[in-house]
Amino acid sequence: MAEEFRQIVRVAGVDLQGDKAAVFAIARIKGIGINLAYMILRKLGVNPYVKLGSLSEAEIRKLDSTLKEVHKLGFPSWVLNRRKDPFLGMDRHLITSDLVLTVRGDIEFMKNIRSWRGIRHMYGLKVRGQRTRTTGRTGITVGVKRGKGGR
C-alpha cells in the first residue's frame, strides 16, 4: 500500500515543502546545511534526491529523531556546530530555536564577563577584527545640502 504524497512535512518542528528533494528540504532547517543533510540521509540509507513528501511515516519519524541527536551519529567533530561546548565540555549539534537561544546566551555570557568580544557586542561594533573606519556606520545619513542657486 503506497502512502499518499504530502505537500507539507513537519520535521524537527519546522514545516518543510514536500515537493523538494529531501536533501534541499532538510537544509531549510536552521543549523542543517546541504553537506550535513547529505551525510545524515546517507547514514539513514535514504536517497537524497527523493521528494521529501514521498517518504514513509516511519522514515520521517526516524529522520526527526536523528536530527535531534546528530552528534551521536559518529560524524567528525568539524561537521558539528557546537564543538567543545564550554559549559558541557562535549561536542554537540544544535538546530532550530536551540541554536538561536544558545548563541544569544553565549553573547550575553561574553557581555557579563566583559571579554573583548562581549564589549564589542555591547557597543554594536564589529567583533571579528574587520575595519571600522568607513564601513559599518549606522544611523541616519546626512546628505549634501544645495545652495540657493542650485536649481
Task: Look up the CATH number of the domain holding residue 56.
Answer: 1.10.8.50
Cell 561537521 locates to 79
- Write out pLDDT tens, residues 91-146: 999 999 999 999 999 999 999 999 999 999 999 889 998 888 888 777 667 777 77
Residue 138 lies in a domain: no
Range of the domain at 102: 78-122
The residue whose grid cell reads 564601513 is: 135
Mean predicted confidence (pLDDT) in 72-87: 89
pTM > 0.85: no
What is the average pLDDT across 54-83?
91
27 or 145, which is more confident: 27
Q: Please count the structural domains in the chain.
A: 2
Are residue 12 and residue 69 in the same domain, yes or no?
A: yes
For cell 559599518, the residue is: 136
Q: Are residues 36 and 68 in the same domain?
A: yes
Instruction: Pick the more confident residue, 148 or 25.
Output: 25
56 and 17: one domain?
yes
Tell whether 61 and 15 lie within a shared domain. Answer: yes
Tell me: do 15 and 35 sit in the same domain. yes
Integer Cα distance of 104 and 89 in angstroms: 19
Amino acid identity of 135? T
